[in-house]
Structure 1
Amino acid sequence: MQSWRASLLRFDEHGHAVFDRDGLLVTGPGADGRTVVIAAGDHAALQPRYAQVPCTHLPGRLIAPGFVDMHIHYPQIDVIGSPAEGLLPWLEHYTFPHEAQFADPAHAAESARFFCDELMRHGVTTALTFCTSHPTSVNALFAEAQRRDLRLIAGKCLQDRHSPDGVRDETEQSLIDTEALINQWHGVGRLGYAITPRFAPSCTERQLRGAGELAARYPDVWIQSHVAENVDEIAWARALFPDSRSYLAIYADHGLMRRRAVYAHCIHFHDDDRALMRDTHTAAAVCPTSNLFLGSGFFDFAGAERVPFAHGLASDVGGGTSFSPFVTMRAAYFAGRAASTGLEPKPGVSLSPERLWWLHTAGAARALDLEGVVGNLQPGCEADFVVLHPEATPLLARRTRAAGNLAELLFALIVLGDDRVVERTVISQAK
């Protein structure tokens, strides 16, 4: 066993922050040998029980759960910050040409190493990520994540139409490849597979039906795609699938909405779409930096509370502009305060710093059906955590020293923080 003494942040079952100014985190082997949280709480209360456990004292530091990124594209690390008029031109001019390079195993492996380096540098310890349409891209990423013991969920893109040469796949072979990758990687160590239709317009009816059949055959794998991000994309999807009630309903009509299904963006929704998300236990990955960057609109946080469905935060690199959870939480706060550009008018909401942090840790884990496994520091959770330095920059130090309570501390980190705050990222290890 090992213990760590610092300020300590975690969350209870209701999503409320639990904070120990002088806390103790005790880790050790769980039932399967993997490092888990044994105890977490006030140092004075716990120290007598664990006095013989070696302790690392980190004065002035904050230990918090590792961040959970619900939607990110590992093949898009080289298109971050590329100028475009909107989503569809950005895909055409930047994304697809770069993704074509992932047919090369050497390029995929180098990119996977860089991608995992960036996740850990920014304190992200669990990620749901898109690969490309090439199985080589999936194999490279899973091999790199397995080497590091990262908890990572990923899948090969399905896109058998409306995609250029180099990334377009063939319907039957794409489904064969997906099933082979499930059998090769899903459940190996901390890895999980996600059936990944890129988005409905990129898939034929036959490919979507096949994806739904795989989802039924393998109920413990994840599903991921995009929906209702951009008004032009919505019109295109509705024209291609006129028998479906809405863009979102296209996925339901093909058996692709259930627990462990995650759809990125979910901006332009009516309440019947929100109810469909709720009733099928499907989750939304909220991507505020990419929504702002591409001018797509803003996620309706108030609507997601009015007709409640699971949701959490995501970077959406490379449409998103940073790996940093601090940048993502900051953008989510701005988006929550903004006026609606969606299908329904809405008032702005002010998301509390505790809520923003929960949406990127324990709340995101809940949305991924990994509650009690990652995203928290309660006993039994895998011991993924970050050591944060609240005085990492002069301005941040000045502000955090004046923080009178937890909300002020967390909000200062959200507004002023970046990767410099993350002093160390600790990953649960298998013994």
Structure 2
Amino acid sequence: MHLVEQMTSFDNISDCENDISNFSKETNAAFWIEDSNGRMIYPDEASMETSTASADYTVTFDEDESFIDMQPSGETTTNFYPFTLKNGTAYALAVQTDLFVVQQATKVLLSILPYVILMIFLLSLLCAWLYTRYITRPIVRLSKISKQMAELDFSGQCGTGREDELGCLAQNLNSLSASLSTALNDLQTANQQLKTDIEKEQELERQRVDFFSAASHELKTPLTILKGHLAGMLNGVCGYENHIEYMERSLAVVDRMEKLVKELLYVSKAEGTQKSEYKTINFAEIFRVQIATVTDLLEEKEQCLEANIPTRLYCEVEQAQMERAIQNILVNATHYSPSGELIRISLSETHGTIRSEIENTGVRVPDDSIPHLFEAFYRADTSRNRNTGGSGLGLYIVGKIMEMHQAKYGISNTNNGVLFWFELPCRQTIDNSI
């Protein structure tokens, strides 16, 4: 069509020869020109007889038609394009094209078409799988995290790199996981604390039951003795004629009961909620005062005392409680040491800690009894303790007082006897040893 437009600008056919020849070479097609009567005027008919002998066709065209198609004959096809020269003469440009190459290309395309369709199908499946993975991967991840959360595992975290609805959902799941994890940890801590408190309360209740059971047993024995003495004297039982002797025995029993009741009241008060008054005092002076209270016992049993106590050693304690603890320790040391033995007392301060040691010689505690010495009414040697008039609460009270002052304490056997020690943190120390 472009060639036809160029030819309309010429005055005669001879001017078009160069353009037609060049176009024929470029397109590898045969060209000729016919007039309105169907007679070939370019090139001449003699030169075209050979090339067109195999083509059987009839030409009809109208000047008003811009394109005339002919049915192909053999392996060529011919198209006619009417045009009018500048001088007004009408012609038709015939173009004959070889269809062999087109047919061969068509056959090749038809032969590879199934493979192309298969490749396109497989490529479509691959693209669909990749796209599905891209779309569903965050959903699968969210599903996995939510399943872990359902099993109370909050260690997983969702990726929050996306900014769409899935990214928002991932952020919400992370926030929910953190909140649930914190709440679960708090609940576990509270449950553990509650369990500890319940176990502690059960232990305290057991200790109370054991304590009052032991106290009842301790009171039952002197009451039975006292009742026997009184019944014997009132009924004139043989052997109870000397009322004064049995009245003295009964009085001793009452004294023991009174001492035991006082101990019980003291323990009850110590385990109560009364307010303790701590103040800084000269701890060494407490030792000296309590040593003076057991001087008569030492002289009675002809025991020697060796004390190494500084002049001043200040510490913050509850004075009445600490005096009671030191008194019980000294009395125990005096009672349970044989006559003529030695009692050593030392008091010192090192690096802000007061340490005291009280050793009574000539006696030894069975190793299996040492862990139980601070239990209420426990006696390592029952017969000996009964004779000394002990209530079985002395060391129990000492242990309670030491725990109240957050002190470390203990009893151990030495080469010479039994050693009681305790370590007490102090606020201020002024040590002028002599």
User: Which structure features the higher share of strand residues?
Assistant: 1
Same fold judged by TM-score > 0.5?
no
> Quick one: higher RCO (CA 8 Å, sep 6+), 1 or 2?
1
User: Which structure features the higher share of helix residues?
Assistant: 2
TM (norm. structure 2) is 0.21
TM (norm. structure 1) is 0.21
